[in-house]
Copies of this chain bind each other. A is one copy, B any other.
Amino acid sequence: MKNEASAILLISCPDRQGLVCAVTDFLMRHNGNIIDLEQHVDTEERVFFMRLEWELNGFALPRDQISEKFSLIASRFEMKYELHFSDYKPRLAIFVSKFPHCMLDLLARQSSGDLNAEIPLIISNHTDLEPAARMHGIDFHCIPVSKDNKAAQEAKQMELIKQYNIDVIVLARYMQVLSDNFCRNYPNRIINIHHSFLPAFVGAKPYHSAHQRGVKIVGATSHYVTGDLDEGPIIEQEVMRVTHRDSVESLIRKGRDLEKLVLARAVWAHLQNKVLVYKNRTVVFG
């Protein structure tokens, strides 16, 4: 079943009666077979969210007419929506600095078919990981960034992103802060991994701060990047227990496993079109 292509609608709108009925009625009228339906109502904000996946096989509308037809319902209910197809492979760019673990983990997942994505481009401010990128047959561009050349270098990055038709940018322990301007160009399309349990220990050297504070659990957080450092909408978090025996080095070593796992889960959820953003929070369907 998963081998057959499916269509996915991600919907959000003001909550009111008849939403589920209207959407499922639309599908039924065109002979759509629902594979998965999830909805959520934020009762405080009175916002309705829905993810709907149905088989394209047997669906009465051709792909290129679905959005047009659905827009009638959407406008009636003031819906924002995205339409995706499961057989499209999104194109990822990975941004790295010197730490290889997150990048290598994503590449291993991609090569073994775990990620439904292409990875044609790796950008770094250092050359350390160029051999690993080349070994995997991926184009590697070194674009060193300093205070003085940031705007110009980000322009180069954006040019590459355009040239490679990149859909999603993954910051796999990229140790540069992106400018507001850069972030605004890719809303909810830049995924970062921060090596702490946000909002604890924002900023640099979170493992040092965690050790200093004597916490008994450390974590990692993956979030969409906005202009506010470490403040973007959280997609996924995970933690592990530590003890007084863990030095800063030990936290860093163990933390790498958290970082890999949390980033991979966040990227996977994004690629499955399971994430909706509102009010700096996310709805992540199961």
Binding site for B on A (CB under 8 A): 1-2, 17-18, 20-21, 24-25, 27-28, 31-44, 100-101, 104-105, 108, 111-112, 114, 132, 135, 197-201, 213-217, 219, 233-239, 241, 243-245, 247, 249, 253, 256-257, 261, 264, 280-284, 286
Q: How many copies does the complex hold?
A: 4
Q: Which residues of B contact A249 (CB under 8 A)?
A: 2
Chain A binding surface, main DSSP class: mixed
List 8 additional A-B contacts (Cβ < 8 Å) besides A18-B28, A216-B237. A17-B32, A21-B21, A105-B108, A197-B197, A197-B217, A199-B213, A217-B237, A244-B284
Q: Which residues of B contact A198 (CB under 8 A)?
A: 200, 213, 215
Q: Which residues of B contact A31 (CB under 8 A)?
A: 17
CB distance B1 to A17 under 8 Å? Answer: no
* A199 to B214 alpha-carbon distance, docked (Å): 10
- A17 in contact with B33 given A234-B214, A281-B214 (CB within 8 Å): yes
CB-CB nearest 5 A-B residue pairs: A214-B281, A200-B200, A21-B24, A104-B108, A244-B283
CB distance B17 to A21 under 8 Å? Answer: no
The one of B17, B20, B233, B286 that contacts A243, using a Cβ cutoff of 8 Å:
B286
